[in-house]
């Protein structure tokens, strides 16, 4: 089983576990969780497809994505805006471009006319088709920029937006410190930050495309060598 296959299976397991007991808020429900006809009609675009829904005003976007649409790539970490794992891109009517936003703090009923892109739609958003990944996804794989992978979709969605912000300034990727600063809203409990930064910088063309852990410095008898083996 390849690492990617293993991680995919693992993510599915996490999604199953985390959805158990979760708020089934995707449907229009009242305060007691009972179905109601009093939802607000909302039309929006989700990963390039038109959607028309009737939504309880209290339903958050992260719950809508995961519970109704099965888009479990968007993770619910803290559910109160502190971890960044639920990051998606939203472009509302009048916005010049999509911006990264926290879907746990976004009421889905406010999205009438908006375009929403999740990690599942990110490759297509840059023209990739089929099994082709977004360059950032490729870079995260190449750089081993994750361990458990729970924060990874949010990290990638945040990084994809970061690279388009301030294009004159290198998309906030001009230095490793800049990447850390502009992605400070995305937490990684596994501490994969060094490789995450490398993946972002490599995608921006600021660092050579290589696995940063491939070069291992071996110190012996006072001299040093660089080896591609670990």
Closest CB to ligand FES among residues 23, 37:
23
* CB-CB contact of 85 with 152 (8 Å): no
Write the burial class of residue 129 (CB in 10 Å: 0-12 exposed, 13-18 middle, 19+ buried). exposed
Beta strand segments in 28-128, E: 40-46, 49-55, 87-91, 99-102, 115-117
* CB-CB contact of 144 with 154 (8 Å): no
Closest CB to ligand FES among residues 28, 86:
86
Q: Is 59 in the site for ligand FES (CB under 6 A)?
A: no
Name the minimum Å distance from CB 134 to ligand FES.
Answer: 18
Answer positive or negative: Cα dihedral of 53, 54, 57, 63: negative
Lay out the site mask for ligand FES across 76-95 (x = CB under 6 A, - = otherwise). xxxx-xxxxxx---------
Q: Is 48 in the site for ligand FES (CB under 6 A)?
A: no
Q: Is 140 in the site for ligand FES (CB under 6 A)?
A: no
Closest CB to ligand FES among residues 86, 116:
86
The residues that touch ligand FES, with contacts defined as CB under 6 A, are: 76-79, 81-86, 102, 104, 146-152, 188-190, 192
């Amino acid at each position: 089983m390849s690492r990617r296959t293993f991680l995919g299976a693992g993510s599915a397991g996490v999604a199953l576990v985390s959805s158990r007991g979760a708020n089934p808020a995707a449907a229009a429900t009242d305060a007691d969780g009972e179905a109601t006809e009093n939802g607000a009609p909302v039309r929006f675009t989700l990963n390039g497809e038109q959607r028309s829904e009737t939504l309880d005003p209290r339903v958050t976007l992260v719950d809508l994505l995961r519970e109704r649409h099965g888009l479990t790539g968007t993770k619910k970490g803290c559910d109160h805006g502190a971890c960044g794992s639920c990051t998606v891109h939203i472009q509302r009517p009048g916005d010049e471009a999509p911006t990264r936003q926290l879907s746990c703090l976004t009421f889905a009923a406010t999205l009438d006319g908006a375009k929403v892109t999740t990690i599942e739609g990110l490759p297509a958003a840059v023209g990739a088709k089929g099994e082709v990944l977004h360059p950032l996804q490729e870079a995260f794989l190449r750089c081993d920029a994750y361990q458990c992978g729970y924060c990874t979709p949010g990290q990638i969605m945040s990084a994809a937006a970061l690279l388009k912000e301030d294009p004159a300034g290198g998309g906030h990727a001009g230095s490793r410190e800049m990447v850390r600063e502009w992605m400070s809203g995305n937490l990684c409990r596994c501490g994969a930050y060094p490789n995450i930064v490398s993946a972002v910088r490599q995608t921006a063309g600021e660092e050579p495309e290589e696995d940063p852990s491939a070069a291992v410095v071996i110190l012996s008898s006072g001299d040093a060598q660089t080896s591609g083996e670990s």
